[in-house]
A and B are shown apart, each in its own frame.
Chain A
């Protein structure tokens, strides 16, 4: 399938379903010289911990790493807004030569006194790993001095991919889990994990669970509070969303506290309903009333949105879509959600999918669908045109590419402005897709006029 020049060494990261043996090579570093859309370990840690709103987030490194992550996530908090500030030790040349430890200590000292946060996260960036500052020791000392958890996050960028950053974030959080009182927690209780409350999505999801009669102990990490994380080990079940930004912590909590976990997705009617039913089933033995309540909830919600969706489906039927997202799990949900809207997915890819993920993806896709790992815009634009897509679902770097091509776009990444999770989210999604795909502006796009 080399009708464009594919970067050598990337041939095994692009497949067309049906026409070749499928042996996706993934989970590897991008090649030197590639135009990758991927980010670094720090990026992974930062996005996971970012929504913990009453914690201090201090980035230890030169200024850039902090500048670029200053409130770009859109995770909403119902209370404190401390997480939206940008704190950096802003390392200078002398610090690189003599080490940044003193500076870090000073910064923590000042900030903790000033803001009285419930916990502090200290992110080590590339340079810190290189110059070898002992951030563990500093955090430990500060923790003792200030009486709050001060947690090192080992997120040196070069040490891997975004996924390794998720793990570093989970490791940091694991230190606070289990330090709070679990008195009075209901046996019908869960933690929502891997939910970042972008555009208020955690609130939607939380509401469903509460209507099912469950207690939500903690949301990791959307609208996050340190207190809740501390007592999260008192929950009976961990419900983990998405490709596993939190999987590592869920596994840890299973080992250490015996809390089982299940994996879910909140996008699209199918996956959303399955998530609620799976959780309900888990509590079947303790309270047989959970399941009927869940059924009623699903029925009610679906009934509300069904007629509206039908309208959109009529208009969108048969249109083609491309999906390129961070985690593969989201791609699965997207395919289903787009099918609900009557659309066909002809290109699907992710930045961080695993072998198993791609197998699932392949099984879901129709013959002829292009499946890519760690793609670049050249590849994405080529297939989008070849496959005549009318919608591209992606993130910040894909948006202008789609628009240049005269293709509708939906941000299903962290720049989404509307809650896309749950049933109400499905309506928002449908409306956004519809508005973009059918915008009259595309009549002027040269591509569409050929």
Chain B
């Protein structure tokens, strides 16, 4: 009982997070930056945070994750980090030669109050940014927001720095995928391609964080959206932003800056959400849905109809990021499961409201909580008070899974003990089929394991 320290009673907690269901802004910014081609993320702060962010992403993706650091010392913490950042920009362009440096701040540099645009201007004046090379930045203090906010801030920075309107609207559609896996980004692009829609997806970590074994170590792998593409996003005919929290700010910024109209949708997890995405894409690009996609949809639906008996009113507990949980909750309800505990460490009022709307007709009480006090400890307590049949969450849920003997499906970030998430999607119809397979495997394995010799059944 690793979590034997979790009591069943739920006391008031004022000052404390136990076993967090969130992490900090810079790692989200770092992940988003890696989705720009030829980009070296740069952490403006001390070495520690940066080392943790790299290690954590490395554990999750099992790929080299490169980034640079301003290496703050005590001096920088007193006099500000301008000298460090100037030196860093100079060093990075001379030695590592990236196409672009994406700077994010940390708690430390934020609190000191370093003015990044002003430092950039100085670097520019001093000729430290070579021709044809770029810098961009996002402010990512972790005492405001979480890793999700960091992702959103860096994605928005891509728009703020690069998007330009060239006067006429191109046929292209911008797709902002939200914080999803490289495999999901690939799937989102594939769906657009399948529909014959020209698209720019940003950020795009496909081939960056799920790259092939090449025998070479490359600082800047093949994938990623190019700066050129980012510039063109200002001339696209529209933007589809997937995930309100992670992608919404960039989409709105693009609309404000370049008058590119946007639609902000859920992550395309599950049947309905994927339908909405496909439909939005169809309308925006003025195309029809091809048979190939309809076929996939039909197959996904077929799995659900074949197996609905096994899904009926199974109770599920979910912990993760708001965008993911909203879509997942809807999907689970559509396949007749009962999401009863829904927890995210990212504070978001709309989240709780949305979940309440989605779950309003369920024949059971639903616990939903976001932000302060919404941590894995609380999640565990809820489960102790009302057990479930299945859980969704990141690797850390395995502790609860073991203690309470409840199967769980790894979903979200970070996943440090399994592979597959970066290679196989969970978005779109294909991803939906994979999710269904995972759900059914978990439930049926459990049924097999728990059944008596007499009940043990061959055909299910």
Q: Residues of A at under 8 Å CB distance from B?
A: 5-8, 29-43, 61-70, 72, 81-82, 84-93, 95-96, 102-107, 110-111, 114-115, 126-127, 129-131, 157-159, 161, 377-378, 381, 396-397, 399-401, 403-406, 444-450
Contacts and interface: CB of A to CB of B under 8 A. Distances in A.
B51 A38 contact: yes
Given A111-B16, A404-B214, A67 B24 contact: yes
B24 A81 contact: no
Nearest to A82: B5
B103 to A, nearest CB: 11
B366 to A, nearest CB: 25
Interface stretch (B56-64, B245-253, B267-275, B447-455): B56-64
A32 B85 contact: yes
A30 B67 CA distance: 13
Most chain-B Cβ atoms within 10 A of its Cβ — which of A88, A107, A157?
Answer: A157
Interface in B58-83: 58-59, 61-74, 76-77, 83
Nearest to A126: B108
Contacts of A81: 2, 4-5
Contacts of A404: 63-64, 211, 213-217
A127 B107 contact: yes
Nearest to A61: B107
B17 A88 contact: yes
A394 to B, nearest CB: 12
B168 interface: no
A145 to B, nearest CB: 16
A96 B95 contact: no
Given A32-B71, A63-B17, 18 more contacts: A33-B90, A61-B107, A63-B22, A63-B23, A67-B24, A70-B20, A93-B141, A110-B15, A126-B45, A126-B106, A159-B74, A377-B217, A378-B219, A400-B61, A400-B63, A405-B217, A406-B215, A446-B215
Contacts of A38: 47, 51
Interface residues of B, number: 82
B318 interface: no
B91 A8 contact: yes
A130 B213 contact: no
Given A70-B396, A90-B17, A111-B16, A35 B23 contact: no
Nearest to B48: A40
B47 A31 contact: no
B232 interface: no
A448 B56 contact: no
A447 B216 contact: yes
16 contacts: A33-B91, A33-B92, A39-B52, A72-B55, A72-B59, A95-B143, A102-B15, A157-B49, A158-B73, A161-B47, A377-B64, A397-B55, A397-B65, A400-B62, A404-B63, A449-B215
B111 interface: yes
Contacts of A114: 7
Contacts of A43: 48, 51-52
B108 A64 contact: no
B144 A92 contact: yes
A36 B142 contact: no
Contact of B15 (A65, A66, A106): A106
Given A8-B91, A447-B215, A447-B216, A62 B143 contact: yes
Contact of B23 (A31, A64, A115, A397): A64
Nearest to A103: B15
A35 to B, nearest CB: 5
Contact of B217 (A85, A381, A397): A381
Contacts of A104: 15
B13 interface: yes
Contacts of A35: 66-69, 96
Contact of A64 (B52, B89, B215): B52
A65 B143 CA distance: 11
Given A31-B71, A158-B72, A403-B213, A85 B19 contact: yes
B46 interface: yes
B176 interface: no
A31 to B, nearest CB: 6
Nearest to A58: B16
Given A88-B16, A89-B15, A30 B144 contact: no
B85 A127 contact: no
A343 B77 CA distance: 46
A27 to B, nearest CB: 14
B189 interface: no
A397 B83 CA distance: 28
